[in-house]
Structure 1
Amino acid sequence: MDNATDGFLRLPQIIGDRKSGIPPIIPVSKSTWWAGCKSGRFPKPVHLGPKTVAWSRSSIAELVEKLKG
Structure 2
Amino acid sequence: MLQTLPTTGYLRLSQIISQSEVTEEQAASNCKTGKGPKRARPGIPAVIPVSPATWWAGAKTGRFPKDIKPFGGNTTMWRVEDIRALLAQSGENAA
TM-score by length of 1: 0.88
1:56 maps to which residue? 79
The count of corresponding residues between Structure 1 and Structure 2 is: 69
Structure showing greater radius of gyration is 2
Q: State whether structure 2 residue 48 is matched by structure 1 residue 26.
A: yes
Q: CA RMSD in A?
A: 1.6
| Percent identity between the two aligned chains | 45
Is there any run of 5+ residues in structure 1 with no aligned partner, and where? Answer: none
Please list every run of 5 or more consecutive structure 2 residues that lacks an aligned counterpart in the other structure. 22-41
Kindly provide the amino acid, as one letter, of the partner of residue 8 in structure 1: Y
Secondary structure at 1:38 match in 2: helix
Of 2, 6, 20, which aligns to 1:4? 6
Q: Deviations over 1:12-62 (max 9, x none)?
A: 000001123100000000000000000000000111322111001000011
Higher strand share: 1
- Normalised TM-score (structure 2): 0.66
